[in-house]
Amino acid sequence: MQERWHPDPEEHRAALANGIRMAAREGARLVCLQELTLSRYFAITADGPKAAGAEPEDLERGPTVSFAGELAAETGAYVHASLYERADGPDGLGYNTAVLLSPDGQLVSRTRKLHIPVTAGYYEDRYFRQGPADGDPFPVTTLTIGDSDAHFGMPTCWDQWFPELARAYSLEGAEVLIYPTAIGSEPDHPDFDTEPLWQQVIVAEGIANGTFMVAINRIGTEDPITFYGSSFISDPYGRVLVQAPRDEPAVLVADLDLDQRQDWLELFPFLRTRRPDAYAKLTERG
Protein backbone atom coordinates (compact mmCIF):
# COMPACT_ATOMS: atom_id res chain seq x y z
CA MET A 1 0.00 0.00 0.00
CA GLN A 2 1.14 3.58 -0.57
CA GLU A 3 0.44 6.51 1.73
CA ARG A 4 1.61 10.04 2.49
CA TRP A 5 3.31 10.98 5.74
CA HIS A 6 0.92 12.49 8.29
CA PRO A 7 2.61 14.82 10.81
CA ASP A 8 0.21 13.61 13.53
CA PRO A 9 1.62 10.18 14.54
CA GLU A 10 -1.77 8.76 15.50
CA GLU A 11 -3.32 9.89 12.23
CA HIS A 12 -0.42 8.37 10.33
CA ARG A 13 -0.69 5.03 12.10
CA ALA A 14 -4.45 5.00 11.59
CA ALA A 15 -4.06 5.55 7.84
CA LEU A 16 -1.55 2.71 7.57
CA ALA A 17 -3.62 0.41 9.78
CA ASN A 18 -6.73 1.01 7.66
CA GLY A 19 -4.79 0.13 4.53
CA ILE A 20 -3.41 -3.07 6.06
CA ARG A 21 -6.89 -4.11 7.15
CA MET A 22 -8.31 -3.34 3.71
CA ALA A 23 -5.63 -5.42 2.00
CA ALA A 24 -6.23 -8.33 4.39
CA ARG A 25 -9.99 -8.18 3.77
CA GLU A 26 -9.26 -8.44 0.05
CA GLY A 27 -7.31 -11.63 0.67
CA ALA A 28 -3.73 -10.36 0.95
CA ARG A 29 -1.49 -12.79 2.83
CA LEU A 30 1.46 -10.38 2.82
CA VAL A 31 1.07 -6.59 3.13
CA CYS A 32 4.01 -4.34 2.21
CA LEU A 33 4.59 -0.79 3.46
CA GLN A 34 6.78 2.10 2.33
CA GLU A 35 10.34 2.99 3.34
CA LEU A 36 10.74 4.51 6.84
CA THR A 37 7.16 3.47 7.44
CA LEU A 38 6.26 5.47 10.54
CA SER A 39 8.35 8.59 9.95
CA ARG A 40 8.79 11.42 7.52
CA TYR A 41 11.65 11.12 5.05
CA PHE A 42 14.24 12.95 7.14
CA ALA A 43 17.34 12.54 4.95
CA ILE A 44 16.53 15.75 3.06
CA THR A 45 19.20 17.58 5.06
CA ALA A 46 22.93 16.84 5.00
CA ASP A 47 23.28 17.93 8.64
CA GLY A 48 22.56 14.51 10.10
CA PRO A 49 20.13 12.93 12.59
CA LYS A 50 20.26 15.52 15.38
CA ALA A 51 19.59 18.45 13.05
CA ALA A 52 16.81 16.49 11.35
CA GLY A 53 15.25 15.35 14.62
CA ALA A 54 15.58 11.75 13.45
CA GLU A 55 15.62 9.17 16.20
CA PRO A 56 16.78 5.60 15.45
CA GLU A 57 14.81 2.82 17.08
CA ASP A 58 15.41 -0.59 18.56
CA LEU A 59 14.98 -3.35 16.00
CA GLU A 60 12.98 -5.80 18.08
CA ARG A 61 11.11 -3.56 20.55
CA GLY A 62 10.83 -0.27 18.69
CA PRO A 63 7.62 1.38 17.48
CA THR A 64 7.76 0.11 13.90
CA VAL A 65 8.11 -3.57 14.77
CA SER A 66 5.50 -3.19 17.51
CA PHE A 67 3.04 -1.54 15.12
CA ALA A 68 3.60 -4.03 12.31
CA GLY A 69 3.43 -6.98 14.73
CA GLU A 70 0.13 -5.80 16.20
CA LEU A 71 -1.45 -5.42 12.75
CA ALA A 72 -0.08 -8.77 11.59
CA ALA A 73 -1.59 -10.49 14.63
CA GLU A 74 -4.89 -8.65 14.16
CA THR A 75 -5.28 -9.37 10.44
CA GLY A 76 -3.59 -12.77 10.15
CA ALA A 77 -1.35 -11.46 7.36
CA TYR A 78 2.40 -11.07 7.21
CA VAL A 79 3.31 -7.37 7.44
CA HIS A 80 6.45 -5.92 5.89
CA ALA A 81 7.70 -2.52 7.09
CA SER A 82 10.81 -0.33 7.19
CA LEU A 83 12.62 1.56 9.96
CA TYR A 84 15.68 3.55 11.05
CA GLU A 85 17.50 0.91 13.09
CA ARG A 86 19.73 1.94 15.99
CA ALA A 87 23.33 0.70 15.83
CA ASP A 88 26.27 0.91 18.18
CA GLY A 89 29.36 2.80 17.15
CA PRO A 90 31.14 6.15 17.31
CA ASP A 91 29.88 7.39 13.92
CA GLY A 92 26.32 7.81 15.23
CA LEU A 93 24.87 6.14 12.13
CA GLY A 94 22.15 3.49 12.06
CA TYR A 95 20.74 1.20 9.41
CA ASN A 96 17.85 1.53 6.98
CA THR A 97 16.18 -1.79 7.68
CA ALA A 98 13.26 -3.73 6.22
CA VAL A 99 11.45 -6.13 8.58
CA LEU A 100 8.83 -8.84 8.23
CA LEU A 101 6.33 -9.71 10.96
CA SER A 102 4.43 -12.99 11.00
CA PRO A 103 0.69 -13.50 11.67
CA ASP A 104 1.55 -14.34 15.28
CA GLY A 105 3.17 -10.90 15.62
CA GLN A 106 6.77 -12.16 15.69
CA LEU A 107 9.76 -10.72 13.83
CA VAL A 108 10.58 -13.19 11.05
CA SER A 109 13.46 -11.45 9.30
CA ARG A 110 15.30 -8.19 8.74
CA THR A 111 17.28 -6.92 5.76
CA ARG A 112 19.54 -3.88 5.94
CA LYS A 113 19.75 -1.57 2.94
CA LEU A 114 22.92 -2.38 1.03
CA HIS A 115 23.38 0.70 -1.20
CA ILE A 116 23.11 4.21 0.26
CA PRO A 117 22.33 7.28 -1.91
CA VAL A 118 24.47 10.42 -1.63
CA THR A 119 22.50 12.82 -3.84
CA ALA A 120 20.90 16.20 -3.16
CA GLY A 121 17.77 15.80 -1.05
CA TYR A 122 18.63 12.16 -0.34
CA TYR A 123 21.62 12.52 1.99
CA GLU A 124 21.31 9.04 3.43
CA ASP A 125 25.05 8.60 3.93
CA ARG A 126 24.71 11.08 6.83
CA TYR A 127 22.20 8.77 8.56
CA PHE A 128 22.72 5.17 7.49
CA ARG A 129 25.58 2.73 7.33
CA GLN A 130 25.85 0.40 4.38
CA GLY A 131 24.33 -2.95 5.25
CA PRO A 132 24.51 -5.64 6.26
CA ALA A 133 27.53 -5.48 8.69
CA ASP A 134 26.84 -9.11 9.58
CA GLY A 135 25.19 -12.05 7.90
CA ASP A 136 24.17 -12.64 4.29
CA PRO A 137 23.94 -9.44 2.20
CA PHE A 138 21.19 -11.10 0.13
CA PRO A 139 18.99 -12.95 2.63
CA VAL A 140 16.03 -14.88 1.25
CA THR A 141 13.05 -15.48 3.52
CA THR A 142 10.88 -18.54 2.95
CA LEU A 143 7.22 -18.26 3.92
CA THR A 144 4.60 -20.98 3.80
CA ILE A 145 1.53 -19.36 2.28
CA GLY A 146 -1.37 -21.71 1.76
CA ASP A 147 0.03 -25.04 0.64
CA SER A 148 3.19 -23.65 -0.92
CA ASP A 149 6.51 -22.16 0.07
CA ALA A 150 7.38 -18.74 -1.35
CA HIS A 151 10.83 -17.15 -1.35
CA PHE A 152 11.23 -13.41 -0.79
CA GLY A 153 14.07 -10.90 -0.91
CA MET A 154 13.54 -7.58 0.87
CA PRO A 155 16.07 -4.94 -0.18
CA THR A 156 15.27 -1.21 0.00
CA CYS A 157 14.80 1.73 -2.41
CA TRP A 158 18.25 2.73 -3.77
CA ASP A 159 19.03 -0.98 -4.08
CA GLN A 160 16.53 -0.94 -6.97
CA TRP A 161 19.07 0.65 -9.30
CA PHE A 162 21.74 -2.06 -9.02
CA PRO A 163 21.30 -5.04 -11.36
CA GLU A 164 23.92 -7.02 -9.43
CA LEU A 165 21.66 -7.05 -6.39
CA ALA A 166 18.61 -8.41 -8.20
CA ARG A 167 20.77 -11.05 -9.85
CA ALA A 168 22.29 -12.10 -6.53
CA TYR A 169 18.84 -12.51 -4.98
CA SER A 170 17.64 -14.50 -7.98
CA LEU A 171 20.64 -16.83 -7.71
CA GLU A 172 19.74 -17.35 -4.04
CA GLY A 173 16.29 -18.52 -5.15
CA ALA A 174 14.18 -15.41 -4.50
CA GLU A 175 10.93 -15.43 -6.45
CA VAL A 176 9.70 -12.02 -5.26
CA LEU A 177 11.72 -8.88 -4.49
CA ILE A 178 10.07 -6.27 -2.26
CA TYR A 179 11.38 -2.71 -2.29
CA PRO A 180 10.08 -0.26 0.33
CA THR A 181 10.74 3.09 -1.32
CA ALA A 182 10.93 6.86 -0.86
CA ILE A 183 11.60 8.48 -4.23
CA GLY A 184 10.32 11.59 -5.93
CA SER A 185 11.51 14.90 -7.32
CA GLU A 186 15.18 15.83 -7.56
CA PRO A 187 15.81 19.13 -5.74
CA ASP A 188 18.79 20.05 -7.94
CA HIS A 189 16.97 19.02 -11.15
CA PRO A 190 13.37 20.14 -10.51
CA ASP A 191 12.18 19.61 -14.10
CA PHE A 192 13.48 16.05 -14.38
CA ASP A 193 10.85 13.36 -13.75
CA THR A 194 12.59 10.08 -12.91
CA GLU A 195 9.39 8.06 -12.42
CA PRO A 196 9.40 6.39 -15.88
CA LEU A 197 13.08 5.44 -15.50
CA TRP A 198 12.54 4.14 -11.97
CA GLN A 199 9.75 1.84 -13.08
CA GLN A 200 11.48 0.70 -16.24
CA VAL A 201 14.66 -0.38 -14.47
CA ILE A 202 12.80 -2.36 -11.81
CA VAL A 203 10.55 -4.13 -14.31
CA ALA A 204 13.59 -4.89 -16.50
CA GLU A 205 15.49 -6.42 -13.57
CA GLY A 206 12.49 -8.64 -12.92
CA ILE A 207 12.60 -9.79 -16.53
CA ALA A 208 16.36 -10.42 -16.43
CA ASN A 209 16.12 -12.45 -13.22
CA GLY A 210 12.76 -14.17 -13.39
CA THR A 211 11.35 -12.38 -10.36
CA PHE A 212 8.18 -10.62 -9.36
CA MET A 213 8.92 -7.04 -8.29
CA VAL A 214 6.97 -5.17 -5.60
CA ALA A 215 7.78 -1.45 -5.29
CA ILE A 216 6.04 0.53 -2.54
CA ASN A 217 6.56 4.28 -2.75
CA ARG A 218 5.15 7.15 -0.69
CA ILE A 219 3.20 10.17 -1.92
CA GLY A 220 2.89 13.82 -0.91
CA THR A 221 5.32 16.69 -0.49
CA GLU A 222 7.91 16.67 2.27
CA ASP A 223 9.79 19.81 1.33
CA PRO A 224 11.91 19.88 -0.82
CA ILE A 225 10.77 16.54 -2.27
CA THR A 226 7.44 15.61 -3.82
CA PHE A 227 7.16 11.83 -3.81
CA TYR A 228 5.59 10.38 -6.93
CA GLY A 229 3.87 7.24 -5.65
CA SER A 230 3.22 4.98 -8.64
CA SER A 231 3.73 1.84 -6.53
CA PHE A 232 3.38 -1.32 -8.61
CA ILE A 233 3.80 -5.07 -8.88
CA SER A 234 5.30 -6.64 -12.01
CA ASP A 235 5.82 -10.25 -13.06
CA PRO A 236 8.81 -12.05 -14.66
CA TYR A 237 7.34 -11.42 -18.11
CA GLY A 238 7.52 -7.65 -17.56
CA ARG A 239 3.79 -7.17 -17.13
CA VAL A 240 2.69 -4.58 -14.59
CA LEU A 241 -0.08 -6.39 -12.74
CA VAL A 242 -1.33 -3.47 -10.64
CA GLN A 243 -0.26 0.15 -10.26
CA ALA A 244 -1.11 3.04 -7.95
CA PRO A 245 -1.52 6.69 -9.02
CA ARG A 246 1.18 9.28 -8.46
CA ASP A 247 -0.63 11.36 -5.86
CA GLU A 248 -3.26 9.35 -4.00
CA PRO A 249 -3.21 6.70 -1.27
CA ALA A 250 -3.73 3.22 -2.67
CA VAL A 251 -4.02 -0.41 -1.66
CA LEU A 252 -2.93 -2.80 -4.41
CA VAL A 253 -3.74 -6.51 -4.25
CA ALA A 254 -2.44 -9.10 -6.72
CA ASP A 255 -2.29 -12.88 -6.94
CA LEU A 256 1.19 -14.05 -7.90
CA ASP A 257 1.57 -17.28 -9.84
CA LEU A 258 5.07 -18.19 -8.69
CA ASP A 259 5.33 -20.98 -11.28
CA GLN A 260 5.84 -18.20 -13.83
CA ARG A 261 9.39 -17.78 -12.59
CA GLN A 262 10.42 -21.25 -13.71
CA ASP A 263 8.40 -21.00 -16.93
CA TRP A 264 10.18 -17.77 -17.85
CA LEU A 265 13.66 -19.02 -16.95
CA GLU A 266 13.08 -22.17 -18.99
CA LEU A 267 12.17 -20.01 -21.98
CA PHE A 268 15.06 -17.60 -21.38
CA PRO A 269 17.64 -19.43 -19.22
CA PHE A 270 19.57 -16.36 -18.10
CA LEU A 271 20.86 -17.95 -14.91
CA ARG A 272 22.14 -21.13 -16.57
CA THR A 273 23.92 -19.31 -19.40
CA ARG A 274 25.78 -16.75 -17.30
CA ARG A 275 29.57 -16.39 -17.63
CA PRO A 276 30.80 -15.65 -14.09
CA ASP A 277 34.32 -16.58 -15.21
CA ALA A 278 34.29 -13.41 -17.34
CA TYR A 279 32.90 -11.05 -14.71
CA ALA A 280 36.00 -10.26 -12.61
CA LYS A 281 35.88 -6.58 -13.57
CA LEU A 282 32.50 -6.27 -11.85
CA THR A 283 34.26 -6.52 -8.50
CA GLU A 284 36.57 -3.58 -9.29
CA ARG A 285 35.50 -0.13 -8.12
CA GLY A 286 34.90 2.32 -10.96
Phi, psi dihedral angles at 50 (to 5 degrees): -65, -45
Known catalytic residue: 164? no
Tell me how far apart the alpha carbons of residues 34 and 15 are, in angstroms, rounded to a whole number.
Answer: 13
- DSSP assignment of 100-136: EE-TTS-EEEEEE------BTTB-GGGTBPPS-SSS-
Count of C-beta atoms within a 10 Å radius of residue 276: 8
* Catalytic choice (3, 35, 205, 222): 35
Residue pair 89/117 in contact (Cβ under 8 Å)? The answer is no
Known catalytic residue: 113? yes
Tell me how far apart the alpha carbons of residues 143 and 100 are, in angstroms, rounded to a whole number.
Answer: 10
Residue 146 DSSP label: T
Looking at the chain, the number of H-run helices and the number of E-run strands are: 6, 12
Known catalytic residue: 70? no
* Catalytic choice (113, 124, 175, 222): 113
Q: Which residues are catalytic?
A: 35, 113, 157
